[in-house]
């Protein structure tokens, strides 16, 4: 499933040079984006970068100040929210407190004049889908946060919108429930064949669920790609930093070519692989190295220039992995993470030990200054 790589594929949602201003403030700045049918698409970015504004324009609660929006090839300008084949599920869930779970789910269907029998059938189907059959007669205040979230979801999909917009749908759930619900959401989307456009500021959540992610910063999209593309080939320091943990090393480019770049800086000379950025000789560049790509050894590693020596400063045992921070003589701290494969490590690395961290050329992602 990768319609974005198919030049013949028609986008389902298109933002064309869309800007949104509130007075002097530009919340969305000349943004263009295509999303495809049945895609699970996430908007990811820090608070205030314009994610919700983008969704609200798509749902019809805001009109763009400039630019055009298309859904299935049709311009959306002037089409009111209830005439769009779109449903939006809000952060707050917005359930009716005095109505039962079943009535909450049936509400939109009733408004549309769906006959009683068909409506009841649809509500039963939705309750099955979100595994709440036994809760049909309860009121929202008699449910847990996770159950309320599922009711909101059932209500959003009951009318079978072609597009479901979700603003931080799992924000109110605790970590464990959140992780379970992520997979339920993915299953639901697959089962119903819907297009999902979701806002989150949780990068792990976006990585888990999405076909593609757009990373936003102050009203613009900085990078769009699959989770693997965003993680393995970030196009800027901002994206590298925003998704996952990263070590950054700075230096001047002393040679380049053949998909590789050599930099020389205060922490030494390093060789890295060109992904999205290819700085020229003489320029300053960053290398981004993910902690899990660092090898940790007691002796100096052989056959690589990509090595740092320092003292173990912090160790965090997380069960599945151990994170160590190593302080170099320059004062810089470099992080490595190791998967804990065996239950008890025989000779674990300890505090204040001198160790070497090294990385393969392929693991050093070159970024433009």
We find the least distance from the C-beta atom of residue 67 to ligand ATP, in angstroms, to be 16
* Residue 203 or 358 with smaller CB distance to ligand ATP: 203
Structure tokens at 307: 């090595």
- Cβ atoms of 205 and 40 within 8 Å: the answer is no
Instruction: Build a one-symbol-per-residue string for 198-237: x at contacts with ligand ATP by CB under 6 A, - elsewhere.
Output: ---x------------------------------------
We find the least distance from the C-beta atom of residue 346 to ligand ATP, in angstroms, to be 46
Length of the chain: 369
Nearest to residue 92, comparing CAs of 169, 37, 27?
169
Q: How many residues bind ligand ATP (CB under 6 A)?
A: 12
Task: Identify residues 3-22 at the interface with ligand ATP (CB under 6 A).
Answer: 22
We find the least distance from the C-beta atom of residue 245 to ligand ATP, in angstroms, to be 21
We find the least distance from the C-beta atom of residue 92 to ligand ATP, in angstroms, to be 12
We find the least distance from the C-beta atom of residue 9 to ligand ATP, in angstroms, to be 28
**β-pairing, 354-358 with 13-22?**
unpaired
- Per DSSP, the three-state class of 52 is helix
* Residue 50 or 169 with smaller CB distance to ligand ATP: 50
* Residue 11 or 45 with smaller CB distance to ligand ATP: 45
- Cβ atoms of 281 and 323 within 8 Å: the answer is no
- Cβ atoms of 287 and 272 within 8 Å: the answer is yes
Among 25, 113, 175, 331, binds ligand ATP (CB under 6 A): 25
Among 27, 126, 173, 288, binds ligand ATP (CB under 6 A): 27
Task: Identify residues 37-96 at the interface with ligand ATP (CB under 6 A).
Answer: 45, 47-53
Structure tokens at 217: 């910063």
* Residue 200 or 236 with smaller CB distance to ligand ATP: 200
Total Cβ atoms within 10 A of residue 320? 9
Instruction: Please count the CA atoms within 13 angstroms of the CA of 285 that sit on its side-chain side.
Output: 32
* Residue 48 or 85 with smaller CB distance to ligand ATP: 48
**β-pairing, 86-89 with 163-167?**
parallel
Q: State the burial class of residue 47 (Cβ atoms within 10 Å of its Cβ: 0-12, 13-18, 19+).
A: exposed
Which residues of this chain interact with ligand ATP, rule CB under 6 A?
Answer: 22, 25, 27, 45, 47-53, 201
């Amino acid at each position: 499933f990768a319609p974005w790589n198919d030049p013949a594929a028609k986008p389902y949602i298109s933002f064309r040079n869309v800007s949104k201003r509130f007075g002097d403030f530009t919340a969305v700045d000349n943004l263009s984006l295509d999303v495809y049918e049945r895609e699970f698409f996430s908007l990811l970015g820090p608070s205030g970068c314009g994610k919700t504004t983008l969704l609200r324009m798509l749902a019809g609660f805001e009109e763009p100040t400039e630019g055009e929006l298309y859904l299935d090839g049709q311009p959306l300008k002037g089409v009111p929210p209830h005439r769009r084949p779109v449903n939006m599920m809000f952060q707050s869930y917005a359930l009716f407190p005095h109505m039962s779970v079943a009535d909450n789910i049936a509400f939109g269907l009733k408004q549309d004049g769906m006959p009683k029998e068909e409506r009841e059938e649809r509500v039963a189907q939705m309750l099955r889908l979100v595994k709440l059959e036994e809760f049909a007669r309860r009121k929202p205040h008699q449910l847990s946060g996770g159950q309320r979230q599922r009711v909101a979801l059932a209500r959003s999909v009951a009318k079978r919108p072609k597009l479901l917009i979700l603003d931080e749908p799992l924000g109110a759930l605790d970590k464990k429930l959140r992780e379970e619900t992520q997979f339920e959401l993915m299953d639901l989307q697959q089962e119903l064949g819907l297009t999902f456009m979701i806002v989150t500021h949780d990068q792990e959540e976006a990585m888990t669920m999405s076909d593609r992610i757009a990373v936003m910063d102050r009203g613009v999209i900085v990078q769009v790609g699959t989770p693997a593309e965003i993680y393995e080939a970030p196009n800027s320091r901002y994206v590298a930093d925003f998704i996952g943990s990263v070590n950054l090393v700075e230096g001047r480019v002393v040679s380049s070519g053949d998909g590789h770049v050599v930099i020389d800086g205060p922490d030494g000379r390093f060789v890295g692989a060109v992904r999205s950025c290819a700085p020229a000789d003489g320029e300053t560049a960053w290398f981004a190295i993910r902690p899990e790509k660092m090898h940790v050894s007691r002796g100096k590693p052989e056959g690589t220039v990509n090595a740092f020596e320092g003292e173990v400063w912090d160790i965090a045992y997380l069960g599945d992995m151990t994170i160590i921070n190593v302080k170099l003589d320059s004062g810089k701290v470099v992080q490595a993470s190791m998967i804990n494969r065996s239950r008890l490590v025989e000779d674990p690395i300890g505090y204040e030990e001198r160790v070497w961290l090294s990385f393969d050329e392929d693991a050093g992602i070159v970024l433009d200054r």
